[in-house]
Amino acid sequence: MNAPTPVAAAEAMAAEFERRAAARQLVVGVLGLGYVGLPLTEAFLGKGFKVLAFDPDAEKIAAIEAGRTYIRHIDDARVAAMRDSGRLALTTDPARLAEADALLMCVPTPLNVHREPDLSFVEACARTIAAHLRPGQLVVLESTTYPGTSEELIRPILEAGGLKSGADFALAYSPEREDPGNIQFGATSIPKVVGADTEPERRMAIALYSTLTQVVPVSDLKTAEAVKLTENVFRLVNIALVNELKVVYESLGIDIWEVVDAAKTKPFGYMPFYPGPGLGGHCIGIDPFYLTWKARAHGEATRFIELAGDVVTAMPRRVVGQVSEALSSRLGKAVRGARVLVVGLAYKKNVDDMRESPSLEIIERLRGRGAEVDYHDPFIPHALDMPEHPEVAGMSSIAWSREALAAYDCAVICTDHDAVDYAELVQTVPLVVDTRNATAKLPAELSDKVVKA
């Protein structure tokens, strides 16, 4: 009997995968149990799948086994529910990846010191999979990256052992759309973009993700990769625009926050974005520069994106300048020797993620000008040791009390956590520089102590 043709083999592979996905008989492998991988694990468990959760960090595995969270917005009860589902297998052993039918790569994609893509985590993850790849598996990259990564980097690594994408196994790309701390949208309510280079591979990815949420299929891998970059570029340029408008309106004596609140009442043709002390997190301040790097490789310029990056990266320096001006004009003090409290170390409200937070640069710049700087963040008791921000290493959040607050000359609100008592802050500290409009609803008699920045 003749062996099936590659096309027939691919069709048979896809049909079997679709059947097992519909019956919840697949084992879903999640590689990387961070801000993307842990919610994805929870989502597939919630839909009745067995999940093989892999992470080389034994401390994360131990935390889940103990029912203890390491991500603030996913509480202990949710972690314990995953553990107790009876369908979760936790491992640091890459050999167990052969047990999974789908392997979802949820690893970091940072920039290196030259602001170029650092795909070392993606490459290492792909090589780990390749060492244990078997026929019939679906491999999906979820990490944000430049168009061409799956085709040019991941596929050759996976095929090095002899199995062929589209015939022996499937390769797809489905960008994560996780928004940490957002209680309105999660993995089962945000539509999932899916791209693959052949129809059978695309069908397999659609079959998997459609068990979670609405799926938006696109024609190929690089188109799906471009979708996620487009989303984040859109946010970058609009955040840069509103920050530039803030600077202009400030010089004209106009409050940008009042302008945006009024403008957003227009039911069409406008979407509100808000200014702040700079960009943070693992997405908006990093991902667009994956595209600028790829564009340069093809002889194209991304002037608009790079200009937006220049605008937002200048904001921490501007905030420090405004703190200096406010100390001088309001209190007759210089920055040198002033006691300054940075309120909020996280990059956004109500999360415990300090990656790329503008607060880090603001602390370093204030200390560089001679200020004595502490921070308070209800969700980050101790600052992570980050080599790129040595000034912050070893810092711990101060305990919140009127007595402690009274020791500071100035407080700088960098993150507008809901858990902070802003009225008490303004009542107690002589000067408050507010970069997030967190004090907007305070009584008018307190407003004289606040400088918006």
The residues annotated with a catalytic role in the active site are 283
Structural contact between residues 186 and 162, judged by C-beta atoms closer than 8 angstroms? no
Identify the residue whose tokens are 């790829």: 294
Residues 209 and 187: beta-carbon distance below 8 Å: no
Going through 238-360 in order, the beta strands assigned E by DSSP cover 339-343
Q: Where are the alpha helices (DSSP H) in 23-85?
A: 37-46, 58-65, 76-83
Look at residues 144, 213, 203, 146 and name the one whose alpha carbon lies nearest to residue 172: 203
Distances (CA, A) of 82 to 58, 79, 107, 385: 17, 5, 20, 30
| Residue among 244, 359, 245, 240 nearest 306 (CA) | 240
Question: SS3 for 255?
Answer: coil
Measured CA to CA, the distance from residue 405 to residue 422 in angstroms comes to 11
Q: Is 85 exposed, middle or buried (0-12, 13-18, 19+ CB in 10 A)?
A: middle
